[in-house]
Amino acid sequence: MIFSKSENEREKPFWSKIQQNKNLGLWSTVLAPFSILYDMGVRTRLSAYRHGLLKKRSLPGFVVSIGNLTTGGTGKTPAVVMLAGWASNEGYKAAVLSRGYGGQYKGDILEVSDGKAIRADPLESGDEPYLLARKLTGVPVVISKKRFKAGLFAYKKFGCNIFILDDGFQHMELKRDMDLVLVDASNPFGNGHLLPWGPLREPAGQLCRADAFIITRFNENNSGDKVVGFLKENFPSSPIFYGDHLPEKVVFPYSNEVHEPEFLKGKRVLAFAGIARPEAFRETLIRAGADLVYFRGFKDHYKFKRDEIQALIQIKEKRGAEYLITTEKDWMRIASFASIYPDIAYLSIQFTLLSGKDEFFRMIKDEIKVE
């Protein structure tokens, strides 16, 4: 893992900096040929599905995907929680289907949750499915590299008729009834290049497959004017909604204390995050009023070691910080050994639609045709 030299920039791992840099340089020369090859592979695969050379499979119910065009950073997990919670409250039998990235599970399928109890640990399932299982009541969470198998399992065992694909925009094998695509207002497409030179998993033109867009992290600092203009001009038939990731609660696992986000105002804290865009968590803490004395960013899905957490605690003491704060997703990966530290907390985030909420759910409900 490589970090930029400046401590003020440590929230952004070096690889992420490359994928945001629009200026040509040494890394451009090195990575551009691989991006061209990646582009060829993506277009070949899409063409194979379009012409029926690769077959799509159908599930017995309504399939909706929440995905994006880039390698993480748009906040899909809280959006999946929002949609699954709505479906459950409406009386639908919903299930979340995930690939389980980073999980160590063996076999074709892993039942992370049956909607009542969690059946797997975060090492098996990966941090995101485990977090979904923790947050969703009455909604099974099933993972498989073949999302069709996960959906069929949920249908046969739980009678599910709504299938929500977590990070499913590129999962072409499974037919879906609706594609919801999240786009980050502050950083929609990075440097505009495909992997590995840039963060794009597909060319931007593939957004034509989206049924609706959700602009995320839409706030006073990120209006997203340019990306909204781009989407309206190129995909005028797809509606655009706006949302933000807002602090929900501050949780101290050692003492089981739970505080409102206002608890952070004026508190001297040291924070760290191993997510796709650590700087987004940094901005969230600052907007919540925390006095951030030090911040450390790690790569996405980073597997923390005990001594690394202890080192951060030592820095906390030296800087005179009161608390060590991380994301709820990161907490999933350190809970097994960090629960003994009373000053460690995680910040829970909820996704909120800022406008058009009724129209958004009405749009989905109008498309649902289940028995």
Helix (H, G, I), strand (E, B) or coil at 259: strand
- Say yes or no: 292 and 253 in one domain: yes
- Say yes or no: 200 and 147 in one domain: yes
Q: What is the pLDDT of residue 181?
A: 98
Q: Please report which confidence band the pLDDT of residue 276 belongs to, taking 50, 70 and 90 as the band edges.
A: confident
Domain of 323, in residue numbers:
247-349
Residue 4 has pLDDT above 50, yes or no: no
DSSP 100: -
Per-residue pLDDT of 191-236, as tens digits, reads: 999 999 999 999 999 999 999 999 999 988 888 899 999 999 999 9
Q: Which of 169, 149, 139, 181 is nearest to 59 (CA)?
A: 149
Q: What is the pLDDT of residue 5?
A: 34
pTM: 0.92
Query: What percentage of the chain carries pLDDT values higher than 90?
Result: 84
C-alpha gyration radius of the chain: 20
- Say yes or no: 202 and 254 in one domain: no
Q: Is residue 12 part of a domain?
A: no
Per-residue pLDDT of 103-134, as tens digits, reads: 999 899 999 999 999 999 999 999 999 999 99
The residue with tokens 């991006």 is 35
Residue 63 has pLDDT above 60, yes or no: yes
Residue 270 has pLDDT above 50, yes or no: yes
- Say yes or no: 132 and 143 in one domain: yes
Give me the count of residues in the chain. 371
Ramachandran region of residue 78, left (φ > 0), alpha (ψ -120 to 50) or beta?
Answer: alpha
Helix (H, G, I), strand (E, B) or coil at 8: helix
Partner residues linked to 245 by β-bridges: 351
N-terminal to C-terminal alpha carbon distance within the chain: 50
- Say yes or no: 178 and 73 in one domain: yes
Report the chain's mean pLDDT, rounded to a whole number: 93
- Say yes or no: 200 and 156 in one domain: yes
CB half-sphere exposure, 128, CA atoms < 13 A: 26
Q: What is the pLDDT of residue 6?
A: 36
Per-residue pLDDT of 91-111, as tens digits, reads: 999 999 999 988 999 899 999
DSSP state string for 9-42 = GTTSBHHHHHHH--S--HHHHHHHHHHHHHHHHH
d(CA 178, CA 62): 8
- Say if CB 176 and CB 49 are below 8 A apart: no
User: Apex CA 215: angle with CA 214 and CA 221, to 5°?
Assistant: 160
- Say yes or no: 332 and 357 in one domain: no
Cβ count within 10 A of residue 225:
9
Using a 10 angstrom Cβ sphere, with 0-12 exposed, 13-18 middle and 19 or more buried, the burial of residue 122 is buried
Q: And the tokens for 94? A: 């919903």
- Say yes or no: 147 and 114 in one domain: yes
Q: What is the pLDDT of residue 14?
A: 60
Ranges of H-type helices in the chain: 14-20, 26-50, 76-89, 122-125, 127-135, 147-158, 225-234, 278-287, 306-319, 328-338, 357-367
Q: What is the pLDDT of residue 339?
A: 94
Per-residue pLDDT of 246-266, as tens digits, reads: 999 999 999 999 999 999 999
- How large is the average pLDDT for residues 309-323? 97
- Say if CB 290 and CB 323 are below 8 A apart: no
- Say yes or no: 253 and 233 in one domain: no
Per-residue pLDDT of 14-39, as tens digits, reads: 667 778 777 777 788 899 999 999 99
Q: Please report which confidence band the pLDDT of residue 371 belongs to, taking 50, 70 and 90 as the band edges.
A: low
Q: What is the pLDDT of residue 233?
A: 97
Q: Is residue 96 part of a domain?
A: yes
- Say yes or no: 282 and 227 in one domain: no
Q: Is residue 48 part of a domain?
A: no
> In total, how many domains does the chain have?
2
- Say yes or no: 238 and 252 in one domain: no
